[in-house]
């Protein structure tokens, strides 16, 4: 079980690093999914991308794996409104099917549960 948990921790860390890098690669997409009520869209995109990268890297280190996993939980909860924004306004994102946008929401829950499991 310990080896499986370590493997899944590295997998989540890798996912977070790549997801965070996308914030810098295609920031305009992430800006487009920001709810209007949030200020400083571009700054928040860069900050969340940097946080994803940092937390992903920290998941690779045994000494800080628990706080990194808690940080990943917090970050995923914080970015949930952007995913909800997409699902509620599929007409703004014609490159995705409405079904795919709604499926993303429970998948976010799976990622949050995965990170929570790594905190134990």
Give me Rg for the CA atoms of the chain.
15
Q: Could you tell me the pTM of the whole model? A: 0.92
How does the average pLDDT of the chain come out, rounded? Answer: 96
Give the residue among 114, 30, 33 at the shortest CA–CA distance from 73.
114
What's the pLDDT at 1?
85
- Residue identified by tokens 């940092």 is 54
Q: Looking at residues 91-116, what average pLDDT do you find?
A: 95
Place of tokens 């810098």: 24
**Residue 81: which pLDDT band, with cuts at 50, 70 and 90?**
very high
DSSP label of 37:
T
Neighbours of 43 (CB within 10 A): 10
Structure tokens at 44: 């928040």
Give the domain ranges of the chain.
2-118
- What percentage of the chain has pLDDT greater than the value 70? 100
Asked whether residue 115 carries a pLDDT value surpassing 90, the answer given is yes
Question: Cα separation of 15 and 61, whole Å?
Answer: 15
> What pLDDT digit, counting tens, does each position of 19-75 carry?
999 999 999 999 999 999 999 999 999 999 999 999 999 999 999 999 999 999 999
In which band, very low, low, confident or very high, does the pLDDT at 12 lie, cut at 50, 70 and 90?
Answer: very high
112/73 Cα distance (integer angstroms): 5
């Amino acid at each position: 079980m310990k080896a499986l948990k370590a493997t899944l921790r590295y997998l989540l860390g890798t996912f977070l690093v790549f997801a965070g890098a996308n914030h810098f690669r295609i920031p305009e997409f992430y800006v487009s999914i920001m709810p209007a009520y949030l200020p400083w869209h571009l700054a928040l995109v860069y900050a969340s991308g940097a946080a994803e990268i940092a937390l992903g890297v920290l998941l690779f280190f045994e000494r800080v794996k628990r706080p990194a996993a808690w940080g990943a939980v917090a970050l995923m909860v914080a970015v949930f409104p952007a995913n909800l924004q997409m699902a509620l306004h599929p007409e703004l994102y014609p490159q995705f099917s409405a079904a795919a946008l709604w499926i993303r929401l429970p998948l976010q829950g799976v990622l949050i549960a995965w990170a929570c499991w790594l905190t134990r």
